């Protein structure tokens, strides 16, 4: 009898130990899947920011300020201080997109009724207009820089040879001349567009085909453009407005990952074999204005996606833990519902999200750091603080 009791106690202790181990294991996994956030002021009221982090973890940002000027901001790694300069004035309404090249120099495209390109060459800023006399330009633009330093740009053409031109356009600088072409002649293609370069420095674009209700992909294979459809009304069982606010990134294997909106949800697309897998990340409230639909996708060191996006005035962060999606609310509703969110990630998996604050419309930075269990804890050598790009 005593032996039986001892066996039962022993089994209970084993179960308890196993349960305790499982609890700490799950707790560790949960901690590894979470981020703690802090918030800082970047600048006074602003719209359409675009944020990038360079290889030294310096932050770069472009945006439209309240006066209609294009501004550029720089924050050195390890510092809380921003440095600012005005790159272009009296522009009216426009959007911006910023990237950094292999030398950590910033490049910006912006759309004040025309398509303009500003870049820092290591000594000074230069700004030019591309595709002059081509008609009215608006909505979004994209810019990428090859490892050889060649700029590629895309934008949405509002007018041209016909009253309702409404096509996506592409330009590349070759032999000091801009080569410009229309990529897709279907109606209303490219209001939302995002571009990256593949391992061979060939451009790859995701873009909306709003009239036909599709998210499309265009890829230059070195000889010609290849086009494919990622998502459509047919595939989404009749759902409309597919492809708005799309954001494209490549993983270390060169495979594309895309975040985008449909009429009812934020979605995520990635390739499984040769087929696109489309996942619903979050349901959202439809507001209708084109500027409400801005998503930004990055991949962490495990190649897991993180997406920041607007949801009827809420700013949210969604991330994949390897098994399921999690969402966090980073900013609540305000008098104005636009957050204009943009996201970047550094080499230590620290997330940076620039957005318009719902309280006072100032430009704020949310910094998300992985909690214990996420990322390396090894000490890092102190790095020399970088200097911001100057303007003549």
d(CA 380, CA 383): 9
In this prediction, residue 10 carries a pLDDT of 42
pLDDT at 178 over 80: yes
Residue 24 inside a domain? The answer is no
The pLDDT-based confidence of 130 (bands split at 50, 70, 90) is very high
- Cα–Cα distance, 284 to 318 (Å, whole number): 13
What does each C-alpha distance from 106 to 6, 82, 125 come to in angstroms? 71, 15, 9
Average pLDDT over residues 192-217: 97
Q: Is the pLDDT of residue 23 over 70?
A: no
Average pLDDT of span 22-48: 68
DSSP-derived letter for residue 75 is E
What domain range includes position 293? 36-370
pLDDT for position 1: 40
Domain assignment present for 84? yes
The whole-number pLDDT of residue 386 equals 65
Overall average pLDDT of the 205-233 stretch: 96
Concatenated DSSP letters for 7-58? HHHHHHHHHHHHHHHHHHHHHHHHHHT-EEEEEEEEESSEEEEEEEE-TT--
Q: How many domains does the chain have?
A: 1
In this prediction, residue 270 carries a pLDDT of 98
Kindly state whether residue 329 falls inside one of the protein's structural domains. Answer: yes
Q: 356, 314 in Cβ contact below 8 A?
A: no
Per-residue pLDDT, averaged over 223-234, amounts to: 96
Give the per-residue pLDDT at 160: 74
pLDDT of residue 373 exceeding 70, the answer is: no
Instruction: Pick the more confident residue, 285 or 221.
Output: 221
Flag whether 44 is in a domain: yes
By the 8 A CB rule, do 350 and 343 touch? no
Establish if 317 belongs to a structural domain: yes
Count CB atoms within 10 A of the CB of residue 136: 13
pTM attached to this predicted model: 0.88
Q: Is 25 part of a structural domain of the chain?
A: no
Per-residue pLDDT tens over the stretch 233-245:
999 888 888 999 9
Q: Given a cut of 60, is residue 304 above it in pLDDT?
A: yes
For residue 26, tell me if it sits in a domain: no
Q: 139 lies in a domain? A: yes
pLDDT band at 376 (very low <50, low <70, confident <90, very high): very low
CATH of the domain at 271: 2.130.10.10
């Amino acid at each position: 009898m005593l032996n039986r009791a001892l066996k039962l106690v022993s089994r209970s202790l084993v179960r308890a130990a196993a349960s305790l181990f499982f609890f700490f294991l799950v707790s560790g996994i949960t901690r590894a899947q979470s981020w703690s956030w802090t918030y800082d002021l970047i600048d006074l009221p602003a719209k359409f920011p675009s944020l990038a982090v360079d290889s030294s973890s310096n932050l770069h940002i472009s945006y439209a300020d309240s006066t209609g000027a294009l501004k550029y901001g720089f924050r050195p790694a390890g510092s809380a201080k921003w440095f600012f300069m005005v790159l272009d004035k009296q522009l009216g309404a426009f959007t911006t997109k910023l990237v950094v090249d292999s030398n950590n120099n910033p490049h910006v495209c912006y759309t004040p009724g025309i398509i303009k390109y500003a870049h820092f060459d290591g000594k000074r800023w230069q700004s030019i207009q591309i595709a002059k006399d081509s008609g009215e330009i608006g909505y979004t633009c994209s810019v990428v820089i090859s490892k050889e330093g060649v700029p590629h740009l895309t934008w949405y053409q509002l007018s041209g040879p016909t009253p309702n031109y409404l096509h996506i356009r592409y330009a590349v600088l070759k032999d000091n001349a801009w080569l410009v072409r229309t990529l897709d002649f279907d109606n209303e293609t490219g209001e939302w567009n995002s571009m990256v370069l593949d391992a061979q420095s060939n451009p790859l674009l995701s873009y909306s085909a709003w009239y036909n209700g599709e998210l499309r992909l265009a890829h230059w294979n070195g000889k010609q453009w290849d086009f494919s459809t990622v998502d459509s009304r047919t595939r989404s069982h009749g759902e409309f407005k597919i492809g708005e606010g799309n954001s494209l990134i490549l993983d270390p294997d060169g495979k594309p990952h895309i975040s985008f909106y449909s009429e009812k949800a934020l979605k995520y697309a990635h390739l499984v074999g040769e087929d696109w897998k489309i996942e619903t990340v979050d349901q959202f409230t439809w507001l209708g204005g084109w500027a409400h639909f801005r998503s930004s996708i990055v991949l962490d060191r495990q190649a897991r996606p993180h997406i920041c996006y607007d949801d009827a005035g809420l700013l949210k962060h969604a991330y994949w833990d390897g098994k399921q999606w999690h969402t966090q609310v980073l900013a609540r509703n305000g008098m104005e519902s636009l957050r204009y969110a943009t996201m970047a990630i550094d080499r230590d998996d620290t997330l940076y999200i620039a957005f318009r604050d719902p309280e006072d419309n100032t430009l704020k930075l949310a910094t998300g750091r992985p909690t214990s269990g996420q990322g390396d804890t090894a000490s890092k050598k102190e790095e020399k603080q970088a200097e911001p790009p100057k303007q003549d």
